[in-house]
A and B are shown apart, each in its own frame.
Chain A
Amino acid sequence: MTRFLVLARRFGPYRAFSDALSMHPGLRYGLVAVLPVLWIVVANIAPLARMVLISFYESFPLPPGETPTLTLAQYQAFFERPLYLTAFARTFIFAALATALTLFVIFPIAYYISKVVPRDKRLRLLLLAIAPFWISEIIRSFAWILMLANRGAVNSFLMWMGLTGRPVELLYNNISLTIGVLYLTSLYMLLPLYAALEKIDDRLIEAASDLGALRFTILRRIIMPLSREGIITGCVLVFLLVTGLYALPQLLGGPSNTLFASIVGQVFSRAGDSWPLGSAFSVILMGVSLAFVAIFMALFQSRRTRA
């Protein structure tokens, strides 16, 4: 290959072209930038712009020859049905609770791997803790169905132990939903927390305990502030993941805890003029989630993390 390219330099036009590239970094950069810029416009911006536009249409597709009229009717529909509003509110409350729970459960794990375990074993334990995350959400939901079903592993075990006479309702309710969601969100919390905690100099902790700080004080005054970046990143990732959850709640949750993403999907897939309404719901979901994240980050990130 190289040999061929070296020989190609004897060919005048090729040589002129490659010399021009060598001499003008701007030209080089321009050529490299064409494809990415095109992609960013087509794949990252245009679909969202189109979705926002469609959300203001009365119907879609437009009848031929008709000019589209813009309307807020789709957004009004959202506020008129209590079903939508409750699901929406429930989703954000649930997302906030799930984020807090994940942080609470995962922080000790991240701390253990990054600060307690000897350095050479850290990577192995980290990989052990993140291995299940290479698996599809659907397979993981399936595994939990097998665990929690009436004739599933947990109930069978409980009955075998004689702790209960008949199966306990574990599936299709808040318990199963929470267990399943935590199973999905752990990684997104673990990796940022681990990365942040790993960076904290162990000597800081030693210095603090030398100065007589209690464990809780060390945690609150030294470790938490220094891992703030990781906590924020983890919380943002988990929060956004939960607000967009679609499949897992349908498999593990019950009818009384439908999340908003499922409703968006249902509305969108309904026959007839469903795109404008689905778009409006998507815009609301996207806007409110990103606004939540922005407020959250503004609240916690503005303070300086490092002295």
Chain B
Amino acid sequence: MTPSSTPAIEVRNIIKSFGDMRAIDDVSLSIAPGVFVTLLGPSGCGKSTLLRTMAGFITADSGQVLIGGRDVTGLPPNARPVNMVFQDYALFPHMTVRGNVGFGCEMKGLSAQAREKRVDELLALVQLPELGHRYPDELSGGQRQRVALARALAPDPVSLLLDEPLGALDLKLRLDMQRELKSLQRTTGKTFVFVTHDQEEAMSMSDLIAVMRAGRVEQLDRPEVIYERPVSRYVAGFVGAANLLDATVESVDGDEIRIVSGAFSAVLPRSSVTSPGSIDRGTNVTLLVRPEHLRSSAQDGHTLELGGRITELTYLGNRVHVRFQTDDGRSLLADALAGDVAEIGERFTAHLRPGALALLRTSAEEQS
């Protein structure tokens, strides 16, 4: 990931509209070789459109697509060295597994021998060496998924583009496939661009996550940064469980910011601020409090307190999710140790450490 290395995939200022709707609104991304990147966002945020623009199925209104440093903006999908795994796998139903996996090599004009050898390699890689003669409709969902992966990897692309490929699988299979995908990415060393709306999936697999919203990339960073230090209220709410408290800046004093949120007030270090833009007296801000930041017992540095009446308890083995209502009427979620919590209706006091919290500027449209 040195600055001098050529990005595997780079898009520059891509804009794409469908009618009045702007699906991609001036997106630029640079993806280093060998990285697992996830485009994350709700449906309609433009993530699939962006992926399809990289693959060449969609021609952008303006902007450039570069693959391995080469400008492929004007090239059709069949001339781009990237391959796609589709949500419905799109396996050719009239070809055997071998026929499917070998299709890309056939298109490259490889000799029959070389092709067979390559097919054998890939079937071994996805652990389906004995199913080559089967037809797609004779395979289970997970097996189809692997064939689709093998087929996309066979022509040795610069990068693999995966369009919600796990969406059709049931939960257990999905978790298995997440692990396998990740390990496949490590063994092949290829760049994976993965599209999903499932934030847990994104968190567990990715080296980098690009959170998208309304055709723009809101934040591109490592999963833990996205989680701990989101740049906007939208990102904070989309990734993981979050208590978002509306607050106002009361004073800024050197490195210390004093905020007030209803009956609650706190002094936070300036490093808590994760969103761009200046924070002054009177700025509307959002305080991000993750449930695990709300501790049932105070430890070192837990200088803040939030209390209320317990309204809901969800037991998760050794932990318990506590929903409680503060005296000024807000409903918060805390993640507590099972032994520490009383009954519904009783009081609950949560302790927090100021340094763990994130402070975000509230944009005009997010103000309630």
Q: Are B106 and A19 in contact (CB under 8 A)?
A: no
B316 contacts chain A at the CB level, 8 A cutoff: no
Contact of A19 among B75, B108, B109 (CB under 8 A): B75
B107: chain A residues within 8 A (beta carbon): 6
Write the nearest CB–CB distance from B303 to chain A, whole angstroms: 62
Q: Are A22 and B78 in contact (CB under 8 A)?
A: yes
B109: chain A residues within 8 A (beta carbon): 3, 6-7
Which residues, 85 to 134 on B, are CB-close (under 8 Å) to A?
106-109
**Given A23-B59, A23-B74, are A6 and B79 neighbors across the interface (CB < 8 Å)?**
no
Main secondary structure of the interface of B (DSSP, over half): helix
Q: How far is the CA of A6 from the CA of B105 in the complex (A)?
A: 11
B59: chain A residues within 8 A (beta carbon): 23
Main secondary structure of the interface of A (DSSP, over half): helix
B282 contacts chain A at the CB level, 8 A cutoff: no
Q: Are B106 and A6 in contact (CB under 8 A)?
A: yes
Write the nearest CB–CB distance from B78 to chain A, whole angstroms: 6
CB-CB nearest in chain B for A23: B76
A2 contacts chain B at the CB level, 8 A cutoff: yes
A22: chain B residues within 8 A (beta carbon): 76-78
Chain A positions 1 through 20: 1 when the CB is less than 8 Å from some CB of chain B, otherwise 0: 01100110000000000010
A7: chain B residues within 8 A (beta carbon): 109
Interface residue tally on A, bucketed by range = under 10
Chain A positions 48 through 68: 1 when the CB is less than 8 Å from some CB of chain B, otherwise 0: 000000000000000000000
A3: chain B residues within 8 A (beta carbon): 106, 109
A23: chain B residues within 8 A (beta carbon): 59, 74, 76
CB-CB nearest in chain A for B74: A23
Write the nearest CB–CB distance from B10 to chain A, whole angstroms: 20
Q: How far is the CA of A3 from the CA of B103 in the complex (A)?
A: 11
Write the nearest CB–CB distance from B156 to chain A, whole angstroms: 17
A2: chain B residues within 8 A (beta carbon): 106
CB-CB nearest in chain B for A15: B79
CB-CB nearest in chain B for A19: B76
Write the nearest CB–CB distance from B115 to chain A, whole angstroms: 11
CB-CB nearest in chain A for B103: A2
Write the nearest CB–CB distance from A152 to chain B, whole angstroms: 52
CB-CB nearest in chain B for A10: B109
B76: chain A residues within 8 A (beta carbon): 19, 22-23
CB-CB nearest in chain A for B75: A19
Write the nearest CB–CB distance from B80 to chain A, whole angstroms: 11
Which residues, 71 to 117 on A, are CB-close (under 8 Å) to B?
none
Q: How far is the CA of A19 from the CA of B107 in the complex (A)?
A: 14
Q: How far is the CA of A23 from the CA of B78 in the complex (A)?
A: 10
A6: chain B residues within 8 A (beta carbon): 106-109
B74: chain A residues within 8 A (beta carbon): 23
Q: How far is the CA of A115 from the CA of B271 in the complex (A)?
A: 72
A19: chain B residues within 8 A (beta carbon): 75-76, 79
B78: chain A residues within 8 A (beta carbon): 22
Write the nearest CB–CB distance from A198 to chain B, whole angstroms: 24
B75: chain A residues within 8 A (beta carbon): 19
CB-CB nearest in chain B for A20: B76
B77: chain A residues within 8 A (beta carbon): 22
Q: How far is the CA of A23 from the CA of B77 in the complex (A)?
A: 8
CB-CB nearest in chain A for B108: A6
Q: How far is the CA of A70 from the CA of B59 in the complex (A)?
A: 55
Known: A6-B108, A7-B109. 15 other contacts (CB 8 A): A2-B106, A3-B106, A3-B109, A6-B106, A6-B107, A6-B109, A19-B75, A19-B76, A19-B79, A22-B76, A22-B77, A22-B78, A23-B59, A23-B74, A23-B76
Q: Which 5 A-B pairs have the closest CB atoms?
A: A22-B76, A6-B109, A23-B76, A19-B76, A22-B78
17 contacts between A and B (CB under 8 A): A2-B106, A3-B106, A3-B109, A6-B106, A6-B107, A6-B108, A6-B109, A7-B109, A19-B75, A19-B76, A19-B79, A22-B76, A22-B77, A22-B78, A23-B59, A23-B74, A23-B76
Which residues of A line the B interface, CB within 8 A? 2-3, 6-7, 19, 22-23
